[in-house]
Amino acid sequence: MNPVLTIPAFGPVLPEIILAAGALVLVLFGAIRGERSGESMNVIALALLAVAFVAVLMLPDEPVQTMYGSFVVDGFAKFMKALTLVASAGGVILSMDYMRREGISRFEYPILIVLSTLGMMMVISANDLIALYLGLELLSLSSYVIAAFDRDNVRSTEAGLKYFVLGSLSSGMLLYGASLVYGFTGNVSFPAIAGILQGQVGIGAIIGIVFVAAGIAFKISAVPFHMWTPDVYEGSPTPVTAFFAAAPKMAGMAMATRVFIDAFPGIVGQWQQIIVFISIASMALGSFAAIGQRNLKRLMAYSSIGNVGYALIGLATGTVEGVQGVAVYMAIYLAMTLGAFAVILGLRRGNVMFDNIEDLSGLARTHPVLAFCLGMMMFSLAGIPPLAGFFAKFAVFNAAINANLVALAIIGVVTSVIGAYYYLRIVKVMYFDEPGAAYDSMPAGVKLVLGLSSVFVVLFGIVPAPLVAAAGAAARSLF
């Protein structure tokens, strides 16, 4: 009997199809129009991301598998994809005026953003090791190029090269770990692996999980695979840094959560130790290493390392409440990060960009609204109530306590207090130091991102229920 050819359902992958087809159209449009297409390409890319966002909202909440089980759509995938698309759109909006002023407004940039976002969405819905690796490579290869997008700038070229070399190493580690897991289970599908790895498992599978965790840790810039982050953040064009700090973090945490919760649910005790170690190391390094930083982009790099550590507390619990905490934390982190980078992009006089902490001196007197918004972001990142950042940390700390990881929660609180020093130092510089010359007015797109981020950071403390409920539904869909 001849085998029957079955065609997979394409409905669950509609957002990815939109981005893939849109990227091809953008390539054709850019090739025809040439360098003149830079501005219009950004608008088209934003429209593509918006259409994909609507398509994501239309996806079913119940888990649906397609592509022969290698691709899954559920409530968690919907939630994290929506955050990723918002982050990518924010990255495009923040870049529009900057790229034009710096003379690097080329049509390739929005195409690379769209392709990178496509890779992120594939990673979020990957249901086996092969799909995970394919999505991760699409994300990574696009990211290497945009890190070095300002090709006439030595620091940007160096950032792209460092990212490429270390990223290739991490991809190899992830692939090696995946091959070990496959070798000891005979499967690449997450549900099949979960069915085999129960209770006590062999040392070979544990080593495979360690290598997989190492590859994932690099993608989310967690210690001890964080070494690329400060240099790449500082050397890349500022909008690219904002994009790196926001969108790939959403996909990376979603990837980590899906891999460990879906593929290894029966051996939580084994991988929990790895996540706890990475979480503590990231929180500690993010808190202490940022104290001596003078460059705002490097400071935000160490801040992102620390924030990944806090989010990993939720994953370490291995519970529904912990995954809900991860989802809430990443949504709030996205708003705080985009808002902070919007202010950094506003520090411009003519053709000169400023990105040192001293450049914020007396900002409250020359630009009171800008200083107030950045102050809110810093207070929120420090976890001071009633701003959103406090509730983000409370969610993961509470989940850790309920999962009997009290020591981890206490370490998180202590490192959060230490980290508050460098956030509050920025507020002190803005409000108590002598002011310098005024900066140029911010572009409309940057103002839009800053305004929306500021409103979210304040309103979440007043009306937290919608986001918390959405995050709870997303978390339950994984279990």
pLDDT at residue 1 in the model: 42
Distance CA 325, CA 439 (A): 38
Condensed to tens digits (0 to 9), the pLDDT of residues 188-216 reads 999 899 888 887 778 888 899 999 999 99
Task: Say what the pLDDT of residue 441 is.
Answer: 84
d(CA 92, CA 39): 11
Q: What is the mean predicted confidence (pLDDT) over 153-168?
A: 88
**C-alpha to C-alpha distances, 438 to 146, 218, 352, 424, 441, nearest whole angstrom:** 31, 39, 13, 22, 9
Going by DSSP bridges, is the β-strand pair 348-349/71-73 parallel, antiparallel, or unpaired? unpaired
Q: What is the C-alpha separation between 255 and 52, in angstroms, rounded?
A: 20
Distance CA 115, CA 72 (A): 20
Whether 38 has a pLDDT exceeding 70, the answer reads no
**Which tokens belong to 374?**
């950045």
pLDDT, tens digit, for every residue of 267-277?
888 889 999 99
Q: Would the pLDDT of 262 be above 50?
A: yes
* Chain-centroid distance, C-alpha 152: 27
Query: Does 5 fall in a domain?
Result: no
Is residue 202 included in any domain, yes or no? yes
DSSP string, 214-244: HHHHHHTT-TTS-TTHHHHHHHS-HHHHHHH
Whether residue 1 is contained in a domain is answered as no
Angle formed at CA 195 by CA 136 and CA 59, multiple of 5 degrees: 50
Q: Are strands 352-353 and 348-349 parallel, antiparallel or unpaired?
A: antiparallel
* CA pair distance 103, 101, nearest whole angstrom: 5
Question: What is the count of structural domains for the chain?
Answer: 1
pLDDT band at 7 (very low <50, low <70, confident <90, very high): low
Distance separating the N- and C-terminal Cα atoms of the chain: 39
Which residues form the domain of 43? 11-476
Mean pLDDT of 149-154: 84
Q: Is residue 386 part of a domain?
A: yes
Does 3 reside within a domain? no
pLDDT at 8: 67
Among 38-42, 223-227, 265-269, the least confident range: 38-42
CA distances from 121 to 12, 56, 92, 248, 252 (A): 12, 10, 17, 10, 10
Q: How confident is the model at residue 106 (pLDDT cuts 50, 70, 90)?
A: confident
Question: What pTM did the predictor assign?
Answer: 0.93
Bigger pLDDT: 328 vs 29? 328
Instruction: With respect to residue 4, please indicate whether it lies within any of the assigned structural domains.
Output: no
Average of per-residue pLDDT values in the chain = 89
Average pLDDT over residues 132-149: 91
pLDDT (0 to 100) of residue 203:
87
